[in-house]
Chain A
């Protein structure tokens, strides 16, 4: 055990002195999280702003103007429809409204001009439709009331949404989509730059042979390297949380929209994240060590690592959209490697930790980690793999 710790300490010391590792494993996740929070926050703000956009009116209409103002939209005027259309073509206006002559029964008809290819135009139209629907409903109910007809005549079935509290207070939807993916991603890619050097780099620099000639057993050498790498993978993942904390505390422009529903990392969520992450990190570190042992040199190792990284990314990417399906609640999803961890982190952030799901996930990842560690140790003990250059 002492020899293993000597190797762990040396590998970590070397790693912390390597700029590439420091940047890829620690700076990169923090930077990316802050960047993505800002980006998503900005998009969300813009989407909300789109429904409260400015509309251009060709001619004033009392009822229409009142409905638009009640809906929170801003009104500007434009002299003619042609000029309004030109403004849309020049992407200076998103929605131009041209009231028509009222019908004989008094209905106010309005032509709405917009560019369907422009998302902000669609959002403005949607915002206007909501505002007019609310005004129409209010008008209808007033008419019914004046004629002593109950509201139920117009709204036979009335939907009354009631929020049900499930689990602890959870994070917002964007945090839930972003954070599990990043945590899982950096559990692998955070260790990539170090992994290439760990064994194949030592082969390349001839230091491996010097190490093999010491009395320390090969199993201890590979376990020491594994533990050092697993620590880096775990810390790289944890850096994502540091990035989130920084993004929320720095009060940057996009932060408000992203964190308005909360951060989601309660003590239970943090414990769940650590619990599901540890066996996954062990699995990833073993895979990285096995690849590094097999490769002749760091370049070859990086080629293999890039391919494996792509395979790891796929289930992690799916975790971002799993909330749009019902799959996240299925028990069997906890048997799908990588995705199971991301899904449990997602549930934890929503305040809905399912301990059975956590147990299955930990078991599956631990079994995979065990197989991968055995493979890495076996490869490290094969002389044709170890001394090939």
Chain B
């Protein structure tokens, strides 16, 4: 397994409501050469899970391994093994695309020769050459997204995390992102992909976990989800799972 979590929890302190259980005991496993989808509504806890796996925040309880490294004890090794991309392109507007890639390549510890080779590769692969020396602030949304992808794969990570990467993008740019995700899978990468868009799940995901209110509702392949709910349509299957879970959560909190 490239990504594995054991009872992963993240509780935040909220001055108004007390403890907020953003993630409450998640167990997932993602394998190389497959796309693992984290499915859930907004606020379900998908981003928090990805932030813990990428070591940006620490779990309150539980553990996880990414690329064979413990996210708490070997966080630096974990970060060296992953690529992370969200719907925000997160580029430095006053750097050119090439300068951005050089900056991140150096931070990932690539030596100058390897860095030059990798930049040449991603620039050609993502057709960045034309605007590689233009400031990122001057790029179109689609161009920015391509630079963002280039930065994500520059150090050739084994594991790729995508946090709602197509949210807010137009159809054409979304296609580019999805094609890239499929390509990463075909190259044997482990892809963990969070979304709430069912068409993307249908198209991309080999394995799936449905999260609601920080709790894992169901996991398996899209087909096993359909079978478990008796729904042919994945969206309906998801809604059924979430409704069930909503009632479950409310009952658990003693409000029903």
Segment at the A interface, from B32-40, B98-106, B119-127, B188-196: B98-106
Which of A12-20, A105-113, A342-350 is near enough to bind chain B? A12-20
Contact B58 A14, beta carbon cutoff 8 Å = no
Contacts of A166 in B (CB 8 A): none
What residues of chain A lie closer than 8 Å to B90, measured between beta carbons? 205-207, 209-210
Cβ contacts A167-180/B at 8 Å (1 or 0 each): 00000000000000
Please tell me if the beta carbons of A14 and B94 are within 8 angstroms of each other in the complex: yes
Is A148 in contact with chain B by the CB < 8 A criterion? no
* Complexed CA–CA distance, A216 and B106 (Å): 10
B84 neighbours in A (Cβ, 8 Å): 209-210, 213
B76 cross-chain contacts in A, Cβ below 8 A: 215, 217
B178 within 8 A of A: no
**Cβ of A13 and Cβ of B107 under 8 Å apart?**
no
Whether B56 lies near A213 (C-beta < 8 A) is yes
Residue in A closest to B13 when the chains form the complex, CB atoms: A384
CA distance A188 to B57 in the complex (A): 32
User: What's the least CB distance linking A193 to chain B, in Å?
Assistant: 13
B9 contacts chain A at the CB level, 8 A cutoff:
no
B interface, over-half SS: mixed
Query: Once the chains bind, are A387 and B94 in contact (CB under 8 Å)?
Result: no
CB <8 Å contact, B51 and A216: no
- Which residues of chain A from 208 to 225 have any CB-CB distance to chain B below 8 Å in the complex? 209-217
CB neighbours of B91 from chain A (8 A): 207
Using Cβ atoms and an 8 Å threshold, which residues of chain B touch A211? 107
Q: Which residues of A contact B93 (CB under 8 A)?
A: 205
B79 and A215 contact, CB distance less than 8 A: yes
Q: Is the CB of A216 within 8 A of B107?
A: yes
Contact A10 B103 (CB under 8 A): yes
Interface size class of A (residues with CB under 8 A): 20 to 34
Residues of B within 8 A of A217 (CB): 76
In the complex, A3 has a CB within 8 A of chain B: yes
Contact A214 B104 (CB under 8 A): yes
CB pair A3–B107 under 8 Å, yes or no, is: yes
- Residues of chain B within 8 A (CB-CB) of A207 are 90-92
Q: Does A35 contact B (CB under 8 A)?
A: no
A4-16 vs B: 1/0 string, CB under 8 Å?
Answer: 0011001001100
Q: Does residue B55 face the partner (Cβ distance < 8 Å to A)? A: yes
Chain A residue nearest in CB terms to B157: A213
Annotate B79-93 by CB proximity to A: 1 below 8 A, 0 otherwise: 110101010101111
Contact between chains at A213 and B55 (CB < 8 Å): yes
Q: How far is the CA of A175 from the CA of B163 in the complex (A)?
A: 58
**Contact: A215 with B54, CB < 8 Å?**
no
Q: Is the CB of A384 within 8 A of B54?
A: no
Q: Is the interface of A mostly helix, strand, loop or mixed?
A: helix
Contact partner of A6 among B57, B79, B95, B106, CB < 8 A? B106
CA distance A217 to B78 in the complex (A): 12
Q: Is the CB of A213 within 8 A of B95?
A: no
Contacting residues of chain B (41-85) with chain A, CB-CB under 8 angstroms: 51, 54-58, 76-77, 79-80, 82, 84
Q: Complex Cα distance A211/B55, Å?
A: 12
With most chain B CB atoms within 10 A of its CB, the pick from A10, A205, A210 is: A210
CB pair B103 A6 closer than 8 Å: yes
Closest to B54 in A: A213
Contacts of A163 in B (CB 8 A): none
Measured CA separation A100–B108 after assembly (Å): 93
Task: With CB as the reference atom, state the residue of chain B lying closest to A3.
Answer: B107
Chain A 211-254 interface 0/1 with B at a Cβ cutoff of 8 Å (1 = within): 11111110000000000000000000000000000000000000
Instruction: Write out the residue numbers on chain A whose beta carbons fall within 8 Å of the beta carbon of B104.
Output: 210, 214
Nearest A-chain residue to B58, judged by Cβ:
A383
CB-defined contacts of A213 to chain B, threshold 8 Å: 54-56, 79, 82, 84
Chain B nearest CB from A258 CB (Å) reads 38
Q: Which of B54, B88, B92, B104 neighbours the largest number of chain A CB atoms within 10 Å of its CB?
A: B92
9 other A-B residue contacts (CB within 8 Å) besides A209-B51, A216-B107, A384-B13: A10-B95, A13-B94, A14-B92, A14-B94, A14-B95, A206-B90, A214-B107, A383-B56, A387-B56
Q: Which residues of B contact A (CB under 8 A)?
A: 12-13, 51, 54-58, 76-77, 79-80, 82, 84, 86, 88, 90-95, 99, 103-104, 106-109, 135, 151
Q: List 9 A-B contacts (CB under 8 A).
A: A13-B99, A14-B95, A206-B88, A207-B91, A209-B56, A209-B84, A212-B55, A213-B79, A216-B107
